[in-house]
Chain A
Amino acid sequence: MSKLKPPITKLDHVRGNANAPVSLVEYGDFQCPNCGEAYPIVEEIVRELGHGLRFAYRHFPLSTAHPLALSAAIAAEAAGRQRKFWPMHHIIFENQQQLSAEALWAFAETIGLDMQQFEKDINDRELEDKVDADFESGVRSGVNGTPTFFINEIRYNGGYDRDSIMAALQKNTANHGSI
């Protein structure tokens, strides 16, 4: 059984309720078509469960297959420095078909980033290190492709459709407290 290592930390990008009975962690790649397909489903689940869920996103760029995945991850981290990780995450997935180096600049502008600061941050080696650390944690947790989800720190091996993920989350919510 593959376990999330490390569990959600302060360095993670997290939405929802920190004390929620169930957590969902996604390892994703901004240029991966399967992640693009999973995106609206995950968003629906996050909205639906609201305070009943803690959701975190970690980077798992497969750069050889997806040459823009690393740049996109760094751009999202740079946006995160301006407290806009999630708007960047959304705009990239919502416009995945148009993803390009230029598009990342346009997205940054659209979500209202301070562009000078953004330019400085995307060249900061620390952000690439953070993406690399996410990747390494993914490998150690048993991620072998994207998207991979963890529910309450255990790798979820089911389908990416809404009903399957929701059922697994609800099952884990029901178990909470009895463990």
Chain B
Amino acid sequence: MLPIGSAAPDFRLYSTPDQQHSLKDYSGKNLILAFYPADWSPVCGDQVSLYNEMLQLFRKENAAIVGISVDGRWCHQAYMQSRNLHFPLLADFEPKGAVAKAYGAYDEKEGLCERALYVLDAGGIVRWHYLSPPSVNPGADGILNALRKINAKK
């Protein structure tokens, strides 16, 4: 994974068939990047549902969250609708896994993103990361602690 203190690589990815998100869209805000293996798999389901309940808590910490997997934008759209998700899922689809690779969060053998978390500060600097075993929901306590630390230093 990228070292703490390094500048996060830019990206521009689709979340829905007609909407793109880039790192710059979030400048001025802390940003949580949640790489995860796949839409529809059970552990991811719990993880995204949990984050979906936490959007207000993240907002309180001046943070936004995006999920990133290699699923396509139509798949993400269907998944977001089915789970009633209120944060964007980005499609690291073409070239496959390029953003995950840039963040050192790609499992070459499986051809899927790792289950990896990043917290970037408002200037796009990596302030915290965590690599979870693929089948374990990493929860959100680490994210909240990282955000608190960032906001305390201001």
Contacts and interface: CB of A to CB of B under 8 A. Distances in A.
B85 A144 contact: no
B57 interface: yes
Nearest to B56: A132
A139 interface: yes
A63 interface: yes
The interface centre, meaning the residue of B85, B138, B140, B141 with most chain A CB atoms within 10 A of its CB, is B141
Nearest to A3: B141
Contact of B140 (A62, A63, A64, A144): A144
A64 B83 contact: yes
Contact of A139 (B46, B57, B84): B57
Interface string B75-115: 00000000111000000000000000000000000000000
The interface centre, meaning the residue of B47, B57, B83, B85 with most chain A CB atoms within 10 A of its CB, is B57
Contacts, number: 40
A144 B52 contact: no
B50 A63 contact: no
A165 B145 CA distance: 29
B20 interface: no
A139 B47 contact: no
Question: For the complex, would chain B's binding face be called helix, strand, loop or mixed by DSSP majority?
Answer: helix
A144 B47 CA distance: 7
A139 B140 CA distance: 6
Interface in A59-107: 61-65
B83 A139 contact: no
Interface in B43-58: 46-47, 49-50, 52-54, 57
Interface string A36-79: 00000000000000000000000001111100000000000000
A136 B138 contact: no
A124 to B, nearest CB: 19
A59 B153 CA distance: 32
A142 B67 CA distance: 20
Given A64-B83, A139-B54, A2 B141 contact: yes
Interface in A139-155: 139-145
The interface centre, meaning the residue of B46, B50, B54, B144 with most chain A CB atoms within 10 A of its CB, is B50
B139 A143 contact: yes
Contacts of A61: 53
A8 to B, nearest CB: 19
27 contacts: A2-B141, A61-B53, A62-B49, A62-B50, A62-B53, A63-B53, A64-B49, A64-B52, A64-B53, A64-B83, A64-B84, A64-B85, A65-B49, A65-B83, A135-B53, A139-B57, A139-B140, A139-B141, A140-B141, A140-B144, A142-B139, A144-B46, A144-B137, A144-B138, A144-B139, A145-B46, A145-B137
Interface of A: 2, 61-65, 135-136, 139-145
Given A63-B53, A144-B138, A145-B46, 10 more contacts: A62-B50, A64-B83, A64-B85, A65-B83, A136-B57, A139-B50, A139-B57, A144-B46, A144-B47, A145-B50
